[in-house]
Amino acid sequence: MRTVLIPVADRPECAVALSVAFDLADRLSLDVLGYHLRPHKLEKSKADGKRMDMASKAAHELFNRTTAEHGMELHKRHRYSEDGGQALWRELTGSPQKCFPFIGPMSDLIVVSRPKNTKSVTASQFQQAALMDTGTPVLMLPSRKPKSIGRRVLICWNQSIEAATAVKATVPLLKAADAVTIVTSGPEDATGSKSTHLQQYLRHHGIKAKRIATRGLDTESEIRQAYEETDSDLLLMGAYSRPRWRERVFGGFTDYVVNKTSVPAIMLHR
């Protein structure tokens, strides 16, 4: 894990996400890639171009300010360092659906924020493009900065390939955590590795994890209770292990975390 990518706009929730991204970069020796996405090229319309140019400038200033506040070096071009810890700024033209399939897969973690207005179409586009079109772990954050992120991690284990891939992709973060807990919901009777296998895998990386088994009668409330009882500050899980349309129509834990909670969560869909 060497890079964290974050879309940047001059908005309060983005400032929170930027601060968290830089905190993680400092802890895990990551490079921060800040991307500002413009919907159109600046020269197409003088009126729109001026407005977008101001938006780009404000986003760039926010990124520069946050970089300086965290004592990180800002570079125009990447310069390899074993210790990481550099910030790079990029601007692209296009929608999240167009840009994320190109920039997302070539990063190790994507950070996006949940806006206060849950009906925001733009924010939803960024969330869904990052989650569905990149195959990269996505950290979804609340609009207010949490006291800590990734110090006490709760792994939601459902025996899926998505969950296993999410764990393997975030081993450096798990190694840096103070506590890791695995929670399962109901009997582990699906095809796939059981929580004991996950626990053994983590031991190979020097990570000691406790296990909690819930009855599976109400997955959302049981996992939320486990999250609170373990004093966790981050969920780690696979996303849309079932087809997305089934999540939307019948409900599912991914849909619950994305749309109905403010809990910080790293999710991965492959």
pLDDT digits (tens, 9 = 90+) for 40-62: 665 445 555 555 678 889 999 99
pLDDT class for 125, splitting at 50, 70, 90?
A: confident
Same fold, 3-141 and 152-268: yes
How confident is the model over 32-40, as a mean pLDDT? 88
How confident is the model over 121-133, as a mean pLDDT? 87
Task: Summarize pLDDT for 240-268 with one digit per residue, the tens.
Answer: 875 544 444 334 888 889 888 889 999 99
Q: Give yes or no for residue 217 having a pLDDT over 70.
A: yes
Percent of the chain with pLDDT over 90: 67
Element (H, E) at 124: helix 121-132
Question: Which candidate, 169, 155, 148, places its Cα nearest to that of 209?
Answer: 155
Name the amino acid, one letter, at 223: I
- Say what the pLDDT of residue 118 is: 60
Architecture of domain 152-268: 3-Layer(aba) Sandwich (3.40)
- Say what the pLDDT of residue 143 is: 86
Place of tokens 């609340």: 142
Average pLDDT, the chain: 88
pTM comes to 0.90
- Say what the pLDDT of residue 135 is: 94
Task: Summarize pLDDT for 92-106 with one digit per residue, the tens.
Answer: 999 999 999 999 999
Fold for 3-141, please state it: Rossmann fold (3.40.50)
Joined together, the tokens standing for residue 100 give 């994320």
For residue 159, the 8-state DSSP code is: S
Residue 59: how many CB atoms within 10 A of its CB? 24
Let me know: does 74 contact 87? Beta carbons within 8 Å. yes
CA dist., res. 270 & res. 49, Å (int) = 36
Domain ranges of the chain: 3-141, 152-268
- Say what the pLDDT of residue 248 is: 46
Helix axes 121-132, 96-103, angle to 10 degrees: 30
How confident is the model over 78-107, as a mean pLDDT? 89
Let me know: does 135 contact 270? Beta carbons within 8 Å. yes
Question: Which candidate, 163, 197, 199, 193, places its Cα nearest to that of 181?
Answer: 199
- Say what the pLDDT of residue 49 is: 54
Question: What is residue 155's three-state secondary structure?
Answer: strand
Of residues 82 and 238, more confidence is placed in 238
For residue 72, the 8-state DSSP code is: P
CA dist., res. 143 & res. 72, Å (int) = 24
Task: Summarize pLDDT for 158-210 with one digit per residue, the tens.
Answer: 999 999 999 999 999 999 999 999 999 999 998 899 999 999 999 999 999 99
Name the amino acid, one letter, at 74: L
The terminus-to-terminus CA distance of the chain in angstroms comes to: 17
- Say what the pLDDT of residue 261 is: 87
